[in-house]
């Protein structure tokens, strides 16, 4: 009696939940009354199977504990009328057994659904919509503006770096030009003194007998033959700028002056190459006529100071110093080379040293004005 009551009092909620998860199908198979009774008795003995889910029912079916009719497609549990409920009592009629058996079979039938292929739908990450021409123009202008601003920033940065580099070059070049102008001033002055002394020697050597010129006087003036100096520029910065291609960053006017100054230095260097060969010839003739030991003694006694040598010239004039060779022809050859060399010294002062000094002075003024140097 308690088993019957459990079957009757199945909650409607559970019945509805079960019915939603199974497919409806018509039970066309015929079940004999004996089979129905057997199934009803089994369900009455195990009423708790109604609470099993579809997976548990499948497991029970596989173990042979639950009978599932594969032909049955309608798994919904019909609502039973009060007329179909079995009467309270300990015995059931055959019709009641059939009704209860059908209801339990329908409840115990698992929710078996056929495998359906799940179609994957791929959604595009970006939906491309047709843009108007104004949007393309706007994007182009924005891109152009970004590139242009980047170009301006890079140009400004490069210009700042070049200006700082030019400032360093200008400061270094200014110091070198100051040294060059000081050296040129001294060299021009000394060269003019040497030219005058050598001209006097040429005069006394050709009129030695007529003027009663002593050998001491000839030693004194001829010693200026070896007092010739050559200008060497401190042009390290110029060579560095030319080698690295940074001459352009100094500005047009300054670059032209630097180029002119560098050209003058190159011309002076070529001139010195010719002068050195001539000077070697003159020096060779000098030591054939004058004793180098005496010349060295006279020079050491004055510590190679030309001003003091000039002060002591009167005492040197009175000395009767011997010559290595008193050959008039050799003396005449030496005098001719020396006279030619003095004209070269004059030309160097006029065409090279003075213009070079002028270039250095103008360039120094431009650097001070452009880069506010002291």
Q: What tokens does 226 get?
A: 């070896």
Q: Are 191 and 240 members of one domain?
A: yes
Give the residue from 151, 234, 205, 183 showing the smallest Cα distance to 323: 205
> How high is the pLDDT of residue 162?
85
Token reading at 16: 């509805």
Domain that holds residue 91: 2-108
Burial class (CB in 10 A: 0-12, 13-18, 19+), 31: middle
Q: Is the dihedral of CA 186, 187, 189, 190 positive or negative?
A: positive
Residue 144 to residue 3: CA distance in whole angstroms: 87
Judgement on whether residues 148 and 245 belong to the same structural domain of the protein: yes
Residues 176 and 94 in one domain: no
* CA distances, 66 to each of 58, 76, 97, 254 (Å): 8, 18, 17, 109
List, as own/partner pairs, every contact residues 183-189 make where C-beta atoms lie below 8 angstroms and the sequence separation is at least 24, other chains included: 183/231, 183/232, 184/231, 184/353, 184/356, 184/357, 184/360, 185/357, 187/229, 187/231, 187/353, 188/349, 188/353, 188/354, 188/357
Under the banding of pLDDT at 50, 70 and 90, the label for residue 70 is very low
CA–CA separation, 314 vs 334, rounded Å? 24
CB 371 within 8 A of CB 167: yes
Percentage with pLDDT > 90 across the chain: 32
The reply to whether 123 falls in a domain is no
Task: Specify the residue for token string 């004039």.
Answer: 317
Q: Which of 108, 126, 154 is the last residue of a domain?
A: 108
- What total of structural domains would you count in the chain? 2
56 found inside a domain: yes
Residue 127 lies in a domain: no
Same domain, 83 and 179: no
Q: Tell me, what DSSP letter sits at residue 245? A: T
Tell me: pLDDT of 121 over 90: no
Distance (Å, rounded) from C-alpha 266 to C-alpha 263? 5
Same domain flag for 56 and 153: no
* Paired tokens of 350: 């006029």
* Token couple for 281: 């010839």
Q: Are residues 279 and 349 in the same domain?
A: yes
In-domain check, residue 115: no
In this predicted model, which residue has the larger pLDDT, 316 or 248?
Answer: 248
Q: What percent of the chain has pLDDT over 70?
A: 61
**Would you state the pLDDT for residue 318?**
73
Using CA atoms, how far apart are residues 146 and 138, in angstroms rounded to an integer? 12
- Degrees to nearest 5, angle at CA 331 with 330 and 333: 65
- Does 16 map to a domain? yes
Q: What is the pLDDT of residues 136-178, one digit of tens each?
A: 888 899 999 999 999 888 888 888 888 888 899 999 999 999 9
Is residue 119 included in any domain, yes or no?
A: no
pLDDT > 80? residue 11: no
Question: Do 99 and 160 fall into the same domain?
Answer: no
30 pLDDT above the threshold of 80? no
Q: Which residue reads 């670059």 in tokens?
A: 255
Asked whether 218 and 201 are in contact (CB, 8 A), the reply is yes
* C-beta separation of 76 from 15 below 8 A: no
Residue 34 has pLDDT above 60, yes or no: no
Q: 188 and 327 in one domain?
A: yes
Whether residue 304 sits in one domain with residue 179: yes
DSSP annotation of 330: H
Summarised one tens digit per residue, pLDDT across range 332-359 is 999 999 999 999 999 999 999 999 999 9
80: pLDDT strictly greater than 50: no
97 and 147 share one domain: no
Mean pLDDT of 245-270: 90
Residue 104 binned pLDDT confidence (cut-offs 50, 70, 90): low
- Residue 132 has a pLDDT of 80
**94 found inside a domain:** yes
Q: What local confidence, expressed as pLDDT, does residue 330 receive?
A: 93
- What pLDDT, on a 0 to 100 scale, did the predictor assign at position 311? 44
Coil, strand, or helix at residue 190? Answer: helix
Please report whether residue 24 resides in a domain. yes
Note the pLDDT tens digit of each residue in 274-304: 888 888 899 999 999 999 888 887 776 544 4
Handedness of CA 213, 215, 220, 224 (dihedral sign): positive
The DSSP string of 291-306 is: -HHHHHHHHHHTTT-H
**Whether residue 166 sits in one domain with residue 90:** no
**75 shares its domain with 181:** no
Query: What integer pLDDT is reported at residue 210 of this predicted model?
Result: 79
**CA-derived radius of gyration, the chain:** 63
Query: What is the arithmetic mean of pLDDT over 240-267?
Result: 90
> 96 or 368, which is more confident?
368
Q: What DSSP assignment string belongs to 74-100?
A: --PPPPPPTTTSPPSSS---HHHHHHH
Cα separation, 105 vs 43, in Å, equals 9
- Render the burial of 128-164: b for 16+ CB within 10 Å, e for the rest: eeeeeeeeeeeeeeeeeeeeeeeeeeeeeeeeeeeee
């Amino acid at each position: 009696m308690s088993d019957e009551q459990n079957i009757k009092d199945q909650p409607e909620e559970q019945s509805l939940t079960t019915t939603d998860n199974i497919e409806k199908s018509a039970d066309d198979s015929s079940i004999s009354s004996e089979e129905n009774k057997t199934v009803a008795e089994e369900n009455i003995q195990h009423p708790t199977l109604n609470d099993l889910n579809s997976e548990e029912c499948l497991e029970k079916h596989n173990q042979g504990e639950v009978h599932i009719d594969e032909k049955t497609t309608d798994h919904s549990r019909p609502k039973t009328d009060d007329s179909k409920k079995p009467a309270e009592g300990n015995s059931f009629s055959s019709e009641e057994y059939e009704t209860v058996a059908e209801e339990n079979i329908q409840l115990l039938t698992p929710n078996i659904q056929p495998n359906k292929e799940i179609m994957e739908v791929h959604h595009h990450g970006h939906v491309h919509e047709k843009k108007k021409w104004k949007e393309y123009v706007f994007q182009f202008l924005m891109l152009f503006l970004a590139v242009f601003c980047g170009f301006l920033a890079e140009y400004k940065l490069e210009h700042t770096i070049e200006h700082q580099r030019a400032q360093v070059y200008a400061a270094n070049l200014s110091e070198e030009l100051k040294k060059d102008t000081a050296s040129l001033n001294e060299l021009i002055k000394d060269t003019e003194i040497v030219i005058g002394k050598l001209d006097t020697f040429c005069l006394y050597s050709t009129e030695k007998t007529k003027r009663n010129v002593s050998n001491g006087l000839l030693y004194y003036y001829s010693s200026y033959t070896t007092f010739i100096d050559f200008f060497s520029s401190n042009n390290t910065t110029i060579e560095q700028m030319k080698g690295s291609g940074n001459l352009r960053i100094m500005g047009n006017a300054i670059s032209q002056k630097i180029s002119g100054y560098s050209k003058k230095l190159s011309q002076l260097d070529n001139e010195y190459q010719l002068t050195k060969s001539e000077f070697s010839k003159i020096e060779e003739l000098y030591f054939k006529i004058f004793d180098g030991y005496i010349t060295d003694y006279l020079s050491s006694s004055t510590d190679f100071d030309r001003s003091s040598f000039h002060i002591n010239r009167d005492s040197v004039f009175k000395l009767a110093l011997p010559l290595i060779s008193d050959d008039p022809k050799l003396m005449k050859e030496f005098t001719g080379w020396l006279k030619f060399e003095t004209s070269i010294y004059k030309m160097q002062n006029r065409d090279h040293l003075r213009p070079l000094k002028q270039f250095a002075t103008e360039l120094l003024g431009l650097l001070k004005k452009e880069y506010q140097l002291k």
